[in-house]
Structure 1
Amino acid sequence: MTNKKKAYERIPFLIFYQDKSPFKETYGGPMDFGALKAHLLRPIKPITNSVIVFMHPVGGGEYLPMVTELAKAGYPVIYCQSRYPDNDSALIMEKVVIDLGNCIRQAKEKFNYDKVILAGWSGGGSLSMFYQNQAENPTITHTPAGDPIDLPLQELIPADGIMMLAAHISRAHTLTEWIDASILNEQDPSQRDPELDLYNPENPNQAPYSSEFIDRYRKAQIARNRKITAWVKDKLANLKNNGRPNDEFAFIVHGTMADPRWLDPTIDANDRKPRWCYLGDPEVVNNGPVGLARFCTLRSWLSQWSYDDSNADGLHCAKSITIPALVIGNSADDACTPSHTSRIFDAIGHNDKEKHEIQGATHYYFGQAEQLSEVVKLCGDWLQRKNLI
Structure 2
Amino acid sequence: MTNKNKAYERIPYLIFYQDKSPFKETYGGPMDFGALKSHLLRPAEPKTNNVIVFMHPVGGGEYLPMITTLAKAGYPVIYCQSRYPGNDTALIMEKVAIDLGNCIRHAKEKFGFEKVILAGWSGGGSLSMFYQSQAEKPTITHTPAGDVVDLTVQDLIPADGIMLLAAHISRSHTLTEWIDASILDEQNPNLRDPELDLYNPSNPNQAPYSEDFLTRYRAAQIARNRKITQWVKNKLAELKTGGRPNDEFAFVVHGTMADPRWLDPAIDANDRKPRWCYLGDPEVVNNGPVGLARFCTLRSWLSQWSYDDTNADGLKCAETITVPALVIGNSADDACTPSHTWRLFNAIGHQDKEIHEIKGATHYYFGQAEQLDEAINLCADWLKRKGLV
Category of TM-score, reference length = shorter chain: over 0.9
CA distance in 2, matches of 1:380, 1:363: 20
C-alpha root-mean-square deviation of aligned residues, in Å?
Answer: 0.6
CA distance in 2, matches of 1:348, 1:203: 40
- 1:90 is aligned to 90
User: Is 1:379 aligned to residue 379 of structure 2?
Assistant: yes
In the superposition, relative to structure 1, how do residues 70 and 247 fare at CA in structure 2: closer, same or farther (>3 Å)? Answer: same
Q: Deviations over 1:304-354 (max 9, x none)?
A: 000000000000000000000000000000000000000000000000000
Query: What displacement does 1:5 show?
Result: 3.8
SS of 1:118's partner is strand
AA aligned to 1:292 is L
User: Is 1:210 aligned to residue 210 of structure 2?
Assistant: yes
SS of 2:229's partner is helix
AA aligned to 1:316 is K
User: What stretches of structure 1 move > 6 A for 4+ residues in a row?
Assistant: none
SS of 1:275's partner is coil
- 1:152 is aligned to 152
- 1:358 is aligned to 358
CA distance in 1, matches of 2:113, 2:2: 22
- 1:44 is aligned to 44
- 1:225 is aligned to 225
User: Is 1:107 aligned to residue 107 of structure 2?
Assistant: yes
Query: What displacement does 1:2 show?
Result: 5.0
CA distance in 1, matches of 2:251, 2:3: 51
SS of 2:196's partner is coil
- 1:72 is aligned to 72
SS of 2:333's partner is coil
CA contact (8 A) 2:4 2:44 kept: no
- 1:310 is aligned to 310
- 1:254 is aligned to 254
SS of 2:120's partner is strand
| Structure 2 unmatched ranges of 5 or more | none
Q: Deviations over 1:123-149 (max 9, x none)?
A: 000000000000000000000000001
CA distance in 2, matches of 1:128, 1:5: 34
SS of 1:40's partner is strand
CA contact (8 A) 2:315 2:344 kept: yes
AA aligned to 1:357 is E
Q: Deviations over 1:112-167 (max 9, x none)?
A: 00000000000000000000000000000000000001101100000000000000
AA aligned to 1:110 is K
CA distance in 1, matches of 2:194, 2:110: 57
User: Is 1:325 aligned to residue 328 of structure 2?
Assistant: no
CA distance in 1, matches of 2:204, 2:367: 39
User: Is 1:132 aligned to residue 145 of structure 2?
Assistant: no
- 1:28 is aligned to 28
In the superposition, relative to structure 1, how do residues 155 and 4 fare at CA in structure 2: closer, same or farther (>3 Å)? Answer: closer
SS of 2:27's partner is coil
Residue-pair matches, total: 389
CA distance in 2, matches of 1:317, 1:338: 19
| Structure 1 unmatched ranges of 5 or more | none
CA distance in 1, matches of 2:282, 2:6: 39
CA distance in 1, matches of 2:6, 2:35: 29
- 1:179 is aligned to 179
AA aligned to 1:319 is E
AA aligned to 2:11 is I
Identity of aligned residues (%): 84
TM-score by length of 2: 0.99
CA distance in 2, matches of 1:156, 1:169: 22
SS of 2:357's partner is strand
TM-score by length of 1: 0.99
Query: What displacement does 1:110 show?
Result: 0.4
Query: What displacement does 1:207 show?
Result: 0.3
